[in-house]
Structure 1
Amino acid sequence: MSDPATTADADSGSGPAAGAGPGSVRVVGTAHVSADSVDEVERTIADERPDIVAVELDEGRYRQMKGEEPDDLDAGDLLRGNTVFQFLAYWLLSYVQTRLGDEFDIKPGADMLAAIETAEDLGLGIALVDRDIQITVQRFWTRMTGIEKLRMLSSLPLAFAPPSAVALGLGLSVGAIVGFPLEALFGPLVIPSGLALPGLVVSAVDFLLVGSLVGLGVALLFVAVLALTAPAEDEREELAMEDLTDADVVGAMLEEFRAFSPGGAEALIDERDAFIAHRLVELREAGHRVVAVVGAGHQNGIERYLDDPELLPPRSELVGRESGRRFSPYKIVGYLFTLGFLAFFVLLAMAGARNEFLLQLFGAWFLINGVFAAALARVAGAHWTSASVGGLVAWLTSVNPLLAPGWFAGYVELRYLDVNIGDIGRLNEILGDEEAPIPELLDRLQEVALFRLIAVVALTNVGSIVASFLFLSVVLPYFSASVDITQLMLEGARNSADLIWETVT
């Protein structure tokens, strides 16, 4: 943080002494990746010589821009609830801005840095007037619908490789997951069963063929979707540098984003317009002459509030974390699965199933969850201790959907990792290397602590989900070969109904 004597706190109006006359605010709208914007910022501040230069930054981004030690991320928060997905959304937004900066050969945020450095050179006050980025991203994520979140996060793999490679990898993964239960339940599906080959060989080859066919179908579908949604070559216009600050171009970009996610745009743009305007009004009312450097997309909204402060929403509505729906579809599905899991064993017990059979069934459930969760945790780069913890608690996912095994594996993995906000910049730098082969990119990504932590959490959870699906589609049919589980459950339901009736009457 810079010297408190030269940094104004917009909340208290501290900093340089206010002038005798009324305060004023001049808003300079910039493109965060435009060299022309840097020149305009430096020229405006030098000409105006305001009391305070207000910049569209919060404390954390200011420190990072000044090259101070990056703040350590609260990894505990990162492992809870939807915070992983909120971070992925923030990472994607950051990555897009970094790529734009690479395209136009300028560092993202150069306009804000120019404002800060010019103010410091001239001995002017600096005010950080933006809302905390973590609050903004949390509210942004909460406001988005499930479909919008899926569309946004599905674009992340395209940063690693061309669409064709991503489609092929996605297809093969889906084919492997879907092909195994299909083969177990209905195989062989492709190879004739009458061939003079061992049954295991027939099943293995048939599984490969089924998985490949399913994977190819998914890959072709993914490529088709990309082809239909991508703009035609003659529609792709190269934006000149000066176009980036043109109001029409910025307005078109904002309208496109609003069409994609109205709720997300409200949190990312509209609320921040109001939050920044609140701070600027406070500085103006304290008698300061202010030059505010903000993104061009915020300029119109902020100026509208400055012209008529009565339009400002209460500040209390713009701060704090926002809670989502109490019962999301994900939670509803999870609780239904939990209810089904408990009902399954209760009905078998009520039917008089032998204890040995119930123990074998639970043991199979425990084993398949543990093996898949631990194996995928290791694939993500987890240490053996982290993978083992994730595997040991994986079965709990079905008992309580709020106890995801990835969280436990992630907490243990934190013993070996030093995670901080600077990891985001390293991730963007790695993903921006278009010449490196994919294996090399993956190796470099594994060296970034934040990426490894998220990969361990995510893949451990994926392993448990896959295991749950395989248990229902493969393991249960295997046990049903010797015991009619369906008949036992029906008998258990009848016995339970009789017991309840006797208790009530």
Structure 2
Amino acid sequence: MPEETPRTSGPLRRIRRDGISYTLLGTAHVSRASAEDVHTLLASGDFDAVAIELCPARHQALVNPDVWGQTDLYQVFRQGRAAMMAASLALGAYQQRLAEQFNVRPGEEMRTAMEGALQRGLPVLLIDRDVGTTLRRVYRNVPWWQRLNILGGLLGSVLSREQVSEQEIERLKEGDLLETTFAEFADRNTVLYEPLIAERDQYMAARLCQEARRDGYKNVLAVIGAGHLKGIASHLETGNTCADADATVRRLEARPPASRWPKLIPWLIVAVILAGFGIGFSRSPDLGWAMIWDWLLINGVLSALGALIAAGHPATVLTAFLAAPWTSLNPMIGAGMVAGAVELYFRKPRVADFNNLRHDVTHWRGWWRNRVARTLLVFFLASLGSAVGTYVAGFLIYDRLIGG
């Protein structure tokens, strides 16, 4: 490292490739010292661009805390983005809990980098992969039987009121919120480590090369989590990551194709249920009608129970009861979507609900108190009740056939 390079408390690497100097600053996302390191480096005036470990979505959330207020929840349900929104809220809740414990805003070094770049008229390069793409690749990379375990761990980590442990603090000094949230699983699961950490190292290295070459930057400061420094440096120094940066970015941005068989399962279940009704009526009208009532009551009651547990409006609970038996026979629309739409109609979120959303979801009671979060709960719990009802009623229907 040249002697004129300012001293920093965090790890620092300078790499020269293809006539471009990349200065990689490893930061801790809950450290004031990291923000001071960024300020020190920018004050040197050596750089013509600043790259930060953010994607456009996370950048928008950082600079515009009220971004959720611009969300159309009905469109979120229609477009199948409810799970992604809930995951983003969960990560935001964990971030807020850290802020309260450490009395510091996580990501302060990123804000310092953006503000310092703006003051000096330097461009800000967003080099991290879209958080939605990363979560989808994590989800697709994990065997289906492990997904519920990971989702449970995520919810447990963000809703817990326990103080962050010393072990987790050390992880935060090296990684980012995504990695820390999934750290329990990433440490022992190579299929999770690959999309969450290794792919992002390669992606960010490729984005650095891509941006620098395209706009002719010669001295780029990259503010990244310390845990990514070694991987990014390795990709910058060796391999084909920079030699074919465009192809690398396209490959790692691709969303993995969904498996076909999960899409076929709902239709197969519908076919089996309808076949059961047909067999029942062929044996006896009384048996057929008994099976119909089993289907209507079990599916409707469990979906309504889910909406009730979510503290949905009485009309929402009634709608879940009436809609679930029929939506379960049409995989194109779910009981949760219908119940969520009714909840939105009767209890439109207020401006205060959006403003307080990030803070409310840090505690489990806030998910019921905040209208935005409660609508998501209605969607998920009504859907879960209907799904459970489908299987319970289906087994009961075929039990009647076998017993009859």
Q: Does 1:106 align with 2:104?
A: yes
For residue 378 of structure 1, report the CA deviation from its aligned partner.
3.2
- Structure 1 unaligned residues grouped into runs of 5+: 1-20, 164-235, 434-440, 489-505
Give 2:216's match in structure 1, choosing from 261, 277, 287: 287
Given the two structures, how large is their TM-score scaled by the length of structure 2?
Answer: 0.77
Q: Does 1:394 align with 2:328?
A: no
Counterparts in 2 of 1:48-59, with a 5 A limit?
A: 48-59=45-56
Distance 1:262 1:243, change over 3 A: closer
**What's the counterpart of residue 7 of structure 2?**
none
What amino acid is the match of 1:79? F
CA contact 1:53–1:119 (8 Å) conserved in 2:
yes
Counterpart CA distance in 1 for 2:250 and 2:151 is 30
For residue 403 of structure 1, report the CA deviation from its aligned partner.
3.6
Q: Size of the alignment, in residue pairs?
A: 373
- Percent pairwise identity: 28
- Structure 2 unaligned residues grouped into runs of 5+: 1-17
1:285-340: CA deviation from partner (whole Å, max 9, x where unpaired): 24312111111122222222222362355322122432232213xx5664553333
For residue 40 of structure 1, report the CA deviation from its aligned partner.
0.8
Q: Does 1:337 align with 2:259?
A: no
Give 1:369's match in structure 2, choosing from 290, 295, 299: 299
Give 2:250's match in structure 1, choosing from 316, 319, 325: 316
Counterparts in 2 of 1:74-223, with a 5 A limit?
A: 75=73, 78-79=76-77, 83-155=81-153, 156-157=155-156, 159-160=158-159
Q: Does 1:410 align with 2:373?
A: no
Counterpart CA distance in 2 for 1:108 and 1:261 is 26
Distance 1:362 1:238, change over 3 A: closer
Give 2:204's match in structure 1, choosing from 266, 272, 276: 276
Please report the RMSD computed on the Cα atoms of aligned residues, expressed in angstroms. Answer: 3.8
1:403-452: CA deviation from partner (whole Å, max 9, x where unpaired): 431122123333344499x95x945534556xxxxxxx52x322323321
Given the two structures, how large is their TM-score scaled by the length of structure 1?
Answer: 0.63
What amino acid is the match of 2:279? L
Distance 1:383 1:256, change over 3 A: closer
Distance 1:157 1:62, change over 3 A: closer
For residue 113 of structure 1, report the CA deviation from its aligned partner.
0.5
For residue 243 of structure 1, report the CA deviation from its aligned partner.
8.8
Distance 1:474 1:317, change over 3 A: closer
Q: Does 1:26 align with 2:18?
A: no
For residue 84 of structure 1, report the CA deviation from its aligned partner.
3.9
Counterpart CA distance in 1 for 2:146 and 2:397 is 36
**What's the counterpart of residue 66 of structure 1?**
63
For residue 470 of structure 1, report the CA deviation from its aligned partner.
5.3
Counterpart CA distance in 2 for 1:367 and 1:246 is 52
For residue 398 of structure 1, report the CA deviation from its aligned partner.
4.4
Give 2:369's match in structure 1, choosing from 443, 447, 461: 447
Larger Rg: 1
**What's the counterpart of residue 195 of structure 1?**
none
Counterpart CA distance in 1 for 2:396 and 2:207 is 60
Q: Does 1:457 align with 2:379?
A: yes
SS at match of 1:290: strand
**What's the counterpart of residue 327 of structure 1?**
261
For residue 456 of structure 1, report the CA deviation from its aligned partner.
0.5
CA contact 2:206–2:241 (8 Å) conserved in 1:
no
Distance 1:463 1:275, change over 3 A: same
SS at match of 2:260: coil
Distance 1:143 1:80, change over 3 A: farther
Counterpart CA distance in 2 for 1:260 and 1:449 is 38
Distance 1:377 1:138, change over 3 A: same
For residue 357 of structure 1, report the CA deviation from its aligned partner.
5.0
SS at match of 2:24: strand
